[in-house]
């Protein structure tokens, strides 16, 4: 397929404000493409040249892209910047310049693969003269493209392609395109949960059909979408779900890490990671809760894993938390989170060492063990983690039987500065990518508050008035995720409770994510001063969830949705949650019901 054909689809996708239309357009696009283009298309429509977990970022700043555009169309950089300011989008500036440029080489049309490979090449340039190499390759590419293609290609290295296409939308479209309806989405989702690689799943589906999809296996180097826990209002209710005997572990308040360790073979490991294994025999890769490759950020966990995990290959999960080895104290989340940084990594690793409390094992010596019961996985985990290791420790576990025992262990965990407990069903498999009652979380709560905070997605922003003019933002419109419909629905307006610094940060974020019309997957009756691409997750604490005719979250036939009462910002969660990882409407409904039980106590 020619890239110019894909660009026409980009135009259609950009114009729609309805999710069903997105699916319809995408399924037509997939139908028209060749099977070995499907994977590339899946990455390109999300503005990428690799799956999310691969640390391949185009990462070009505006003024560098402006130089490339200027060079492509024989203009001064200042001219490009001026045009960009006037039009508000660098891609549109490139489109206009391309339209007016006579010497465009357009005798031969580029295919999707050619443009993809060129973009990948740009992303991979490194070392001396990187900027010049990137500029020259991008300007060369722009010269060969038609104006509409130039517009969209420019937005890829800038990270400003705002088509708002989520993974679930792509999966629905793939099923519709090849199967005529959306019924294959669960099977595709299952394969996606195992690999987190949308392009790979899509291409396998188009080349090998549904049997190929069912054969997709866990792969070292591709993160598994994490199993998630449910909430319940009381220990009694938990016991009903978990059976007579269940496991309990402390709930550590740090960040989740998935370790991929391989000593035997290197297949499936990106070339860029080989250096981590010292000669390529031993490779450790780390992935975050939201599937990003965070290997470079935690050298202490990487070397700890190499020394302290005894296996040819393994995928294990744990919670990393800052820990004071002298006093054997866990440090609060505010300390742990200082380790999430791009610079001065080694220095910070010394100052604030992490320990990783391993709590599950998913893959061992070449075998997927996710289907084995939790009890067995835990035994295998204990057999490969060294007892006296300094970095990788096994999360403490108790087998409990009663409410009384839960309460005792819970109080013990709290007194040690931990967040609460995780209760786990002993015979349950590891359920990738799913929230279920196989894991139940019990957290500390504060009186007068909901039993848990709500992770909301920033949907829009109200311009600031009075003192707030200075921050550019006076209030926020936030929503939660409707998993069934793959939409973001409004749940609250937040106008107070943010510090000046937080208002400024929201302003920065919203400037980057601002879009011209309501995104297709946002469903809201309220219109803010401007919309943003749903991307950033904010943790919100509220006093209560109420029914409300204003918001679209969980709206029923009578027109009543849910709203947050007295919402306030706890923290930004852009580092470890994607928009689709926000609290779901189903969870809001449960929290709403649970608050009544809570009051009764
Ligand atoms: P979620 O990850 O469920 O969307 P969240 O990120 O808001 O929710 P919490 O609700 O506080 O976090 O708790 C779930 C998280 O707790 C897990 O994702 C994991 O990172 C962490 N965790 C801490 N200790 C454990 C443990 N022993 N077993 C499993 N997870 C644990």
Distances (CA, A) of 593 to 562, 590, 599: 12, 5, 11
Domain finish residue from 435, 450, 465: 450
488 and 441 within one domain: no
Residues 6+ apart with CB under 8 A from 50: 43, 56, 120, 123
206-239 burial code (b ≥16 CB/10 A, e <16): beeebeebeebebbbbbbbbbbbbbbbbbbebbb
Ligand 1 pocket mutation, candidates 247, 252, 413, 577, criterion most atoms within 8 A of CB = 252
Residues 6+ apart with CB under 8 A from 25: 9, 12, 13, 16
357 and 259 within one domain: yes
Ligand 1 pocket mutation, candidates 256, 289, 393, 435, criterion most atoms within 8 A of CB = 256
pLDDT at 395: 95
Nearest atom of ligand 1 to the alpha carbon of 249: 27
- Measured distance CA(483)–CA(372) in Å, rounded: 28
pLDDT at 258: 98
Ligand 1 pocket mutation, candidates 441, 445, 582, criterion most atoms within 8 A of CB = 441
With vertex at residue 288, the alpha carbon angle to CA 564 and CA 492, rounded to the nearest 5 degrees, is: 10
Distances (CA, A) of 23 to 26, 166, 390: 5, 10, 50
Where do we find the tokens 């998935």? 258
Determine how many CB atoms are found less than 10 A away from the CB of residue 42: 26
345 and 478 within one domain: no
- Measured distance CA(424)–CA(395) in Å, rounded: 13
502 and 381 within one domain: no
pLDDT at 447: 47
Which is the catalytic residue, given 251, 372, 424, 590?
A: 251
With vertex at residue 237, the alpha carbon angle to CA 232 and CA 241, rounded to the nearest 5 degrees, is: 95
344 and 362 within one domain: yes
- Measured distance CA(233)–CA(157) in Å, rounded: 46
- Measured distance CA(493)–CA(481) in Å, rounded: 16
- Measured distance CA(444)–CA(421) in Å, rounded: 9
Does 422 contact ligand 1 (Cβ within 6 A)? yes
Q: Is residue 38 part of a domain?
A: no
Nearest atom of ligand 1 to the alpha carbon of 253: 23
Does 229 contact ligand 1 (Cβ within 6 A)? yes
Q: Is residue 110 part of a domain?
A: yes
pLDDT at 597: 60
- CATH code, domain carrying 538: 2.40.50.140
Does 394 contact ligand 1 (Cβ within 6 A)? no
- Measured distance CA(289)–CA(287) in Å, rounded: 7
460 and 390 within one domain: no
509 and 579 within one domain: yes
DSSP string covering 92-125 = HHHHHHHHH-TT---SSPPBHHHHHHHHHHHHH-
Does 374 contact ligand 1 (Cβ within 6 A)? no
444 and 307 within one domain: yes
481 and 374 within one domain: no
Asked if 234 contacts 400 with a C-beta cutoff of 8 angstroms, the reply is no
Q: Is residue 5 part of a domain?
A: no
Nearest atom of ligand 1 to the alpha carbon of 226: 18
Nearest atom of ligand 1 to the alpha carbon of 452: 10
Nearest to 321 by CA among 413, 435, 429: 413
pLDDT at 17: 83
Does 571 contact ligand 1 (Cβ within 6 A)? no
- CA–centroid distance, residue 94 to ligand 1 (Å): 44
H or E element that contains 475: strand 475-482
593 has catalytic annotation: no
Which residue ranges of the chain lie beneath pLDDT 50? 266, 271-279, 446-447, 599-601
Does 438 contact ligand 1 (Cβ within 6 A)? no
Determine how many CB atoms are found less than 10 A away from the CB of residue 95: 21
516 and 443 within one domain: no
Q: Looking at ligand 1, which residue's alpha carbon is closest to its atom 26?
A: 251
- Measured distance CA(524)–CA(492) in Å, rounded: 11
- CA–centroid distance, residue 512 to ligand 1 (Å): 29
Q: Is residue 37 part of a domain?
A: no
The distance of Cα 34 from the centroid of its chain, to the nearest Å, equals 28
Sign of CA dihedral 83, 84, 85, 88: positive
**DSSP designation for 152:** H
Residues 6+ apart with CB under 8 A from 383: none
509 and 429 within one domain: no
- CATH code, domain carrying 269: 3.30.470.30
Nearest to 144 by CA among 47, 254, 231, 68: 68
Asked if 569 contacts 538 with a C-beta cutoff of 8 angstroms, the reply is yes
pLDDT at 122: 94
Determine how many CB atoms are found less than 10 A away from the CB of residue 387: 8
Ligand 1 pocket mutation, candidates 225, 377, 422, 442, criterion most atoms within 8 A of CB = 422
Q: Is residue 271 part of a domain?
A: yes
Q: Looking at ligand 1, which residue's alpha carbon is closest to its atom 31?
A: 251
SS3 content of the chain, % helix, strand, coil (to 5): 40, 20, 35
| Secondary structure class of 459 (helix, strand, coil) | strand
Characterize the bridge pairing of strands 522-523 and 487-494: parallel
Does 124 contact ligand 1 (Cβ within 6 A)? no
pLDDT at 160: 86
With vertex at residue 510, the alpha carbon angle to CA 505 and CA 511, rounded to the nearest 5 degrees, is: 100
| Secondary structure class of 328 (helix, strand, coil) | coil
Q: Looking at ligand 1, which residue's alpha carbon is closest to its atom 9?
A: 441
Q: Is residue 213 part of a domain?
A: no
Nearest atom of ligand 1 to the alpha carbon of 443: 11
Q: Please classify residue 283 by burial: count the beta carbons closer than 10 Å to its beta carbon, then call 0-12 exposed, 13-18 middle and 19+ buried.
A: buried
Nearest atom of ligand 1 to the alpha carbon of 424: 28
Residues 6+ apart with CB under 8 A from 350: none
Domain finish residue from 450, 474, 509: 450
pLDDT at 415: 79
- CA–centroid distance, residue 539 to ligand 1 (Å): 14
- CA–centroid distance, residue 111 to ligand 1 (Å): 44
- CA–centroid distance, residue 509 to ligand 1 (Å): 26
Domain finish residue from 429, 450, 471: 450
- CA–centroid distance, residue 229 to ligand 1 (Å): 7
- Measured distance CA(480)–CA(456) in Å, rounded: 5
- CA–centroid distance, residue 165 to ligand 1 (Å): 27
- Measured distance CA(588)–CA(582) in Å, rounded: 11
DSSP string covering 355-401 = EEEEEEEEEETTEE-TTS-HHHHHHHHHHHB-TT-SSEEEPP-EEE-
- Measured distance CA(599)–CA(601) in Å, rounded: 6
Q: Is residue 141 part of a domain?
A: yes
pLDDT at 276: 42
Structure tokens given for 442 = 């019990």
- CA–centroid distance, residue 441 to ligand 1 (Å): 8
Does 409 contact ligand 1 (Cβ within 6 A)? no
Q: What total of structural domains would you count in the chain?
A: 3
Nearest to 550 by CA among 580, 525, 567, 586: 525
- CATH code, domain carrying 113: 1.10.3260.10
Nearest atom of ligand 1 to the alpha carbon of 455: 7
Asked if 177 contacts 188 with a C-beta cutoff of 8 angstroms, the reply is no
Q: Is residue 184 part of a domain?
A: no
- CA–centroid distance, residue 458 to ligand 1 (Å): 22
Residue ranges making up the domain that contains 515: 454-600
pLDDT at 107: 60
568 and 494 within one domain: yes
């Amino acid at each position: 397929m020619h890239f110019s054909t894909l660009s026409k689809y980009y135009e259609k996708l950009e114009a729609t404000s309805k999710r069903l239309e997105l699916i319809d357009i995408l399924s037509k696009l997939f139908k028209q493409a060749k099977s070995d283009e499907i994977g590339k298309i899946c990455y390109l429509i999300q503005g990428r040249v690799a799956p999310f977990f691969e640390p391949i970022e185009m990462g070009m700043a505006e003024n560098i892209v402006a130089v490339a555009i200027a060079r492509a169309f024989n203009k001064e950089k200042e001219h490009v910047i001026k045009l960009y300011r006037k039009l508000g989008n660098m891609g549109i500036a490139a489109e206009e310049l391309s339209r007016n440029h006579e010497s465009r080489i357009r005798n031969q049309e580029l295919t999707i693969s050619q443009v993809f490979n060129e973009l990948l090449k740009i992303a991979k340039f490194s070392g001396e003269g990187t900027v010049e190499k990137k500029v020259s390759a991008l300007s060369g590419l722009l010269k060969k493209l038609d104006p509409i293609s130039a517009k969209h290609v420019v937005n890829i290295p800038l990270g400003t392609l705002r088509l708002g296409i989520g993974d679930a939308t792509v999966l629905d479209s793939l099923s519709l395109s090849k199967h005529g309806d959306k019924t294959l989405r669960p099977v595709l989702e299952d394969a996606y949960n195992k690999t987190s690689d949308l392009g790979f799943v899509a291409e396998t589906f188009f080349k090998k059909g549904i049997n190929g999809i069912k054969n997709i296996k866990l792969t070292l180097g591709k993160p598994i979408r994490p199993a998630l826990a449910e909430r319940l209002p009381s220990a009694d209710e938990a016991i009903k779900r978990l059976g007579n005997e269940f496991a309990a572990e402390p709930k550590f308040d740090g960040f989740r890490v998935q370790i991929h360790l391989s000593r035997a073979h290197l297949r499936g490991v990106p070339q860029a990671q080989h250096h981590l294994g010292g000669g390529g025999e031993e490779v450790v890769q780390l992935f975050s809760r939201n599937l990003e490759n965070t290997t470079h950020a935690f050298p202490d966990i990487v070397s700890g894993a190499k020394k302290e995990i005894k296996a040819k290959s393994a995928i294990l999960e744990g919670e990393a938390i800052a820990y004071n080895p002298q006093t054997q104290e866990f440090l609060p989340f505010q300390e742990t989170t200082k380790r999430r940084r791009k610079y001065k990594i080694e220095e910070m690793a010394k100052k604030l060492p992490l320990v990783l409390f391993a709590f599950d094992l998913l893959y061992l010596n070449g075998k997927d063990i996710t289907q084995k019961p939790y009890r067995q996985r835990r035994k295998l985990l204990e057999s490969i983690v060294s007892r006296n290791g300094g970095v990788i420790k096994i999360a403490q576990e108790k087998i409990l039987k009663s409410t009384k025992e839960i309460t005792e262990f819970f109080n013990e965990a709290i007194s040690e500065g931990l967040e609460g407990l995780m209760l786990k069903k002993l015979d349950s498999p590891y359920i990738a990518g799913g929230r279920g009652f196989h894991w139940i979380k019990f957290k500390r709560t504060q009186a007068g508050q909901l039993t848990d905070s709500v992770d909301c997605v920033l949907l829009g922003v109200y311009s600031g008035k009075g003192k707030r003019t200075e921050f550019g933002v006076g209030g926020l419109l936030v929503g939660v995720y409707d998993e069934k419909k793959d939409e973001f629905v409004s749940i609250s307006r937040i106008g107070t409770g943010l510090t000046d610094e937080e208002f400024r940060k929201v302003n920065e974020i919203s400037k980057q994510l601002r879009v011209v019309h309501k995104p297709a997957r946002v469903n809201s009756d309220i219109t803010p001063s401007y919309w943003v691409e749903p991307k950033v997750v904010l943790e919100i604490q509220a006093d209560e969830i109420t029914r409300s005719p204003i918001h679209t979250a969980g709206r029923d036939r009578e027109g009543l949705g849910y709203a947050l009462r007295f919402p306030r910002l706890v923290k930004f969660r852009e580092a470890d949650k994607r928009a689709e990882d926000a609290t779901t409407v189903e969870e809001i409904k449960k929290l709403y019901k649970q608050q009544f039980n809570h009051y009764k106590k």
